[in-house]
Amino acid sequence: MNSYFFPILLTLFAGMSTLVGGFVTFFIKRDNLKALSVVLGFSAGVMIYISLSELMVEANSMLSEFYSTIGARSFAFGGFLLGMVIAILIDYFIPDHIESDFLNTQNKHHKVKRAGLITAIAVTMHNLPEGMATFLVASQDLRLGIPVAIAIAIHNIPEGIAIALPIFHATGKKRLAILYSFLSGISEPVGGLLGVLLLKTILPEQSIGIMTAAVAGIMVYLAFDTLLPLAREYGENHHVIIGIVSGMLIMGFGLIFF
């Protein structure tokens, strides 16, 4: 369990960044959220780069110990597709709408509050697999786990805003808004603990390689489906590109020299 301490700590850090978004709600107006555009693009760049250049390679290497070259590549690719399908199904059945209508407080109070509650439930469900992903990567390679946790933490900030802003404007209660942000964020380390349980009980050793590839699929989907559209909503296209390229460059140099 000592070897799982830092991976769980990283999932806690990633999840609790929703609280940052919750507190941002009280100080930043909607029009000033454009500053998030570059940061969200940066997070997407980190996720895409790590997924395709590191996680898929690591998954293939793990699976090569159990299967032939073609078999390992096939299972790695299958795991990647599995991760994409999982993310798509979660999005389909529990849509995670962090859009301008949820951040628009011109509606009636009960509708605004309902928007915040629905978003909180959706984010909670989305955070469970994200927590498992962060834990799994960090437990296999802490060097990769740290940037993954940072990227997911950045992604969680606007989620915290989308939860807290409607609740705060509907009720006028800061504590209630922060509470819902906290409850959504805590599901991330719960996902990490679920990962510990699976690794210590029912999962065979070769499944770790498949799950690593699935994590890559989930993160690539998350980057293209959530982070990049949200980044474009907050800022201009060139802001998003600057963020993506910066994330990939920093991640690439970091993995070379550290």
DSSP 8-state code for residue 4: G
pLDDT (0 to 100) of residue 99:
46
Which whole-number Å values give the CA distances from 65 to 80, 81, 186, 207, 224, in the listed order? Answer: 18, 21, 36, 12, 32
CA distance 16 to 30: 22
pLDDT (0 to 100) of residue 160:
79
Cα separation of the two ends of the chain = 26
Which whole-number Å values give the CA distances from 109 to 133, 151, 172, 216, in the listed order? Answer: 36, 33, 10, 40
Per-domain residue ranges of the chain: 2-257
Mean pLDDT of successive 10-residue segments in the chain (258 residues)?
78 87 68 66 86 88 90 94 88 59 46 57 70 82 84 78 72 80 85 80 79 87 84 80 88 74
Residue type, 162: A
Task: Look at the pTM and tell me if it is higher than 0.85.
Answer: no
CA distance 247 to 46: 5
List the structure tokens of 252: 């690439």
Q: Is 89 exposed, middle or buried (0-12, 13-18, 19+ CB in 10 A)?
A: exposed
